[in-house]
């Protein structure tokens, strides 16, 4: 089991993508591994053949533990048991289970009529890890699902569409009644959900949070966004402009670009910003590298790409690590203002609300303007209140004059 996440001691081998005896080429995905934050495909380093699976799909496995036996191209293995013994693996190659472990024979075999023949397969089926996982749980064959992605790649939405077509409600939209004991549903925790709960609990327990709030005049941000989108093929969101202002504020107040460690306050040289993305498996925060160096359209494209892969469960582990501040936005849901929990080891998180038309004072007179409320949650260990206040003042100025953040 490879160390797919830094300092990880274990991971779930979600599924094998090849059967025993199958040949593979360098770069082919052999298995999918689930870390606390992402699904990761394990790729082959060289051509070869999969001789023996040592760990079944769905099992939590220690990093470094053997999970399979591979053979090089043309390599003949006459005694697999001897190979396993030479590797120190105490396993019976005939049963597929560790020696001495009782194997559950499962329910009695009942002969059933042969299923109808499947339509001709369309060759190798490309699919996302999350699509494969959902299809497997639903008992669907990927070959039977039309893919809507590049090269007919099967995506999560394709699998969900097939599932929805099979469980559509009866005519009239009536739902079956629940019996009296059915008072609730239980949704088992995913590893991502468990990791989120653990990290946020740790953050609230260990990081002394304090909060600063500000109201931003968003008229110019909305205007410059509309102007950019008139000619750009890549749609720029308000959140992209917020990310640029956050990064520019970090450049102006570098003391905010920090994280806390047991021995020192660490100050990265680059300004990397994490953006919160809601997925079906839980909230993830992919990190945008060197935001000040990106144009706003390049930033928008990068955010869109990471968000799409986050929802498909295809983020790489290193894309979820780094940065010193996160941005989370609930404005699209009409939320006016909220405070967020810091994503460790970051020093801060900026919570962004909805843009609203409100009364504002201009030159001593009332007018209607577009306003945006933000709340900055700060870890008081690496950042003092004065530094956070200076940073928030810089952010407000840059957000209200977005051309300065884009320069």
> Domain spans of the chain?
1-98, 133-168, 209-406
The pLDDT value recorded for residue 129 is: 73
Reference 284, options 200, 203, 205; nearest CA is 200
Please count the CA atoms within 13 angstroms of the CA of 343 that sit on its side-chain side. 25
Q: What is the mean pLDDT of the chain?
A: 85
Report the CATH number of the 1-98 domain.
Answer: 2.40.50.100
What homologous superfamily does CATH list for 209-406?
Chloramphenicol acetyltransferase-like domain (3.30.559.10)
Cβ atoms of 366 and 253 within 8 Å: the answer is no
Residues with a known catalytic role: 380
User: Percent of the chain beyond pLDDT 90?
Assistant: 50
Q: Mean pLDDT per 10-residue run, the chain (407 residues)?
A: 77 88 90 78 89 88 88 85 76 42 41 46 68 81 82 80 69 51 77 82 94 97 96 96 98 97 95 94 91 97 95 85 96 95 96 96 92 98 98 98 93
3-state SS string for 223-286: HHHHHHHHHCCCCCCHHHHHHHHHHHHHHHCHHHCCEECCCCEECCCCCCEEECEEECCEEECC
Domain boundaries 133-168, CATH class: few secondary structures
The pLDDT value recorded for residue 123 is: 60
Paired tokens of 326: 């996160």
**Distance of alpha carbon 307 from alpha carbon 313, whole angstroms:** 10
Paired tokens of 39: 């699904």
pTM of the model: 0.68
Question: 356 — phi, psi (to 5°)?
Answer: -130, 150
Q: Report the b/e string of 261-289 with b at 16+ CB within 10 A.
A: eeeeeeeeeebbbbbbbebebbbbbbbbe
The pLDDT value recorded for residue 367 is: 93
C-beta neighbour count of 170 within 10 angstroms:
8
Quote the Cα angle for 208-287-16, to 5°: 110
Fold equal for 133-168 and 209-406? no
Residue carrying the six token digits 């093929």: 233
Q: How far is CA 223 from CA 226, 229, 241, in A?
A: 5, 10, 11
Reference 18, options 32, 2, 34, 30; nearest CA is 30
């Amino acid at each position: 089991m490879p160390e797919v996440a830094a300092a990880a001691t274990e991971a779930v081998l979600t599924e094998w993508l090849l059967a025993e005896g199958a040949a593979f080429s360098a770069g082919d995905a052999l298995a999918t591994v689930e870390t606390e934050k992402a699904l990761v495909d394990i790729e082959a380093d060289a051509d070869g053949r999969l001789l023996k699976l040592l760990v079944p799909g769905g099992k939590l496995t220690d990093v470094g533990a053997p999970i399979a036996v591979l053979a090089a191209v043309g390599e003949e293995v006459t005694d697999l048991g001897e190979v396993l013994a030479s590797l120190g693996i105490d396993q019976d190659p005939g049963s597929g289970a560790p020696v001495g472990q009782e194997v559950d024979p499962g329910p009695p075999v009942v002969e059933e009529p042969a299923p109808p023949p499947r339509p001709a397969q369309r060759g190798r089926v490309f699919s996302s890890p999350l699509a494969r996982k959902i299809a497997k749980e639903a008992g669907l064959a990927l070959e039977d699902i039309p893919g809507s992605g590049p090269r007919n790649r099967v995506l999560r939405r394709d699998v969900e569409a097939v599932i929805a077509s099979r469980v559509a409600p009866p005519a009239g939209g009536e739902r079956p009644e629940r019996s009296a004991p059915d008072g609730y549903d239980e949704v088992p925790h995913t590893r991502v959900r468990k990791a989120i709960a653990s990290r946020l609990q740790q953050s609230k327990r260990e990081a002394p949070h304090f909060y600063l709030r500000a109201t931003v005049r968003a008229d110019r941000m909305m205007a410059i966004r509309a102007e950019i989108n008139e000619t750009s093929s890549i749609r720029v969101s308000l959140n992209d402009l917020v990310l640029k202002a956050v990064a520019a504020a970090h450049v102006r107040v570098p003391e905010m670009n920090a994280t806390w460690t047991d021995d020192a306050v660490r100050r990265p040289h680059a300004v990397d910003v994490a953006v919160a993305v809601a997925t079906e498996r839980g909230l993830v925060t992919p990190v945008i590298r060197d935001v000040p160096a990106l144009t706003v359209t390049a930033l928008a494209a990068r955010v869109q790409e990471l968000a799409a892969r986050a929802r498909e469960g295809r983020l790489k582990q290193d894309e979820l690590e780094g940065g010193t501040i996160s941005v989370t936005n609930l404005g699209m849901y009409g939320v006016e203002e909220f405070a967020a929990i810091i994503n460790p080891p970051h020093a801060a998180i900026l919570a962004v609300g909805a843009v609203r038309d409100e009364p504002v004072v201009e030159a001593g007179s009332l007018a209607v303007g577009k306003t945006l409320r933000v709340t900055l949650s700060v870890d008081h260990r690496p950042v003092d209140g004065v530094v956070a206040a200076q940073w928030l003042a810089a952010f407000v100025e840059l957000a209200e004059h977005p051309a300065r953040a884009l320069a």
